[in-house]
Amino acid sequence: MAGPEGPGRSGRPTLAVVGATGAVGTVMLQILSQRADVWGEIRLIASPRSAGRKLTVRGEEVEVAALTEEALDGVDVAMFDVPDEVAERWVPVAAARGAVVVDNSGAFRMDPDVPLVVPEVNPHAVRRRPRGIVANPNCTTLSMIVALGALHAEFGLRELVVSSYQAVSGAGHAGVRTLREQMSLVAGTELGTHPGDVRRAVGDNTGPFPEPVALNVVPWVGSLREDGWSSEEMKVRDETRKILGLPALPVAVTCVRVPVVTTHSLTVHARFEGEVTVDRAREIIATAPGVVLFDNPAAGEFPTPADVAGTDPTWVGRVRRALDDPTALELFVCGDNLRKGAALNTAQIAELVVLER
């Protein structure tokens, strides 16, 4: 790795954004333009069909290059947001050519030689990366893990039960397009009052989802895994265990798709080693980096996706102690799945890599 003293403007490191034209890549360019500028050259890389497009980053137009080995030459840090199969092929290529790769796909998250990093929770993990790869967690995990990590550090987590309410942008541009098209078909109608009427109106226009998502919720995200679990549910379980260093943590997850464009929400039931108090939990949440406590139900104040979309923190409300268990807390958590849930955490990891140089 050439490092900050290598090529790049003012001797700063060269960054590649691979997958720059996707839903997360688009947000990544916004974030790179908003955060402290630690980068020299920023290269935008995507599939050959997107090559030649011009995108704006840091107020400058940059032409998108096709993903090739040559495009990765001289890169110090590469942020990848591409499908798993593309990452499996190209992430090792970038690492072999000297880049530290921060990968947002699921291809390497559970590799024991690849750290899975959330800078507010386990920043030390970024330093041990024998393959030259650092993995970015799944957007659903990231929507809750910063708040959960702060509570774990104080109370000691021993069991977790969560349900997610996931925005359609988690399925990329196609997910957003599908919801908007379905909403146009059902708007101003009396649909949603009889069995199958929404399905008939939508027809085959379900896009990346197995069922209509407009006027509906779909209790399925991901692909089928053993015993009826979905891949998304297994990601939340496995990634939470790895990030918190709790390999045997009991975790139960149900992932649900909802008709929201951006921002994932979760209900969290967390059991800890000993008795907890709401006052101390609220204090921890309110002072944790990257977390906002927004919790006054009497005034109608609690996080919702409509208010959280486009913001960086994890928002937490409905903080209660479990009615029947003095060691358990109930929370409602919201996080923008394209920002902290993907692009922002990737950028924060990349900045950690630069800082260590």
Cα distance between residue 136 and residue 18, in whole Å: 14
Q: Which of 124, 139, 269, 334 is catalytic?
A: 139
Catalytic annotation on 334? Answer: no
Catalytic annotation on 264? Answer: yes
Q: Which of 124, 264, 269, 334 is catalytic?
A: 264
Burial classification of residue 49, based on how many CB atoms lie within 10 Å of its CB (0-12 exposed, 13-18 middle, 19 or more buried): exposed
Three-class SS of the chain: CCCCCCCCHHHCCCEEEECCCCHHHHHHHHHHHHCCCCCCCEEEEECHHHCCCEEEECCEEEECEECCCHHHCCCCEEEECCCHHHHHHHHHHHHHCCCEEEECCCCCCCCCCCCECCCCCCHHHHHCCCCCEEECCCHHHHHHHHHHHHHHHHHCEEEEEEEEEECHHHHHHHHHHHHHHHHHHHCCCCCCCCCCHHHHHHCCCCCCCCCCCCCCCECCCCCECHHHCEHHHHHHHHHHHHHHCCCCCCEEEEEEECCCCCCEEEEEEEEECCCCCHHHHHHHHHHCCCEEECCEHHHCECCCHHHHCCCCCEEEEEEEECCCCCCEEEEEEEECCCHHHHHHHHHHHHHHHHHCC
- Active-site residue numbers? 139, 264
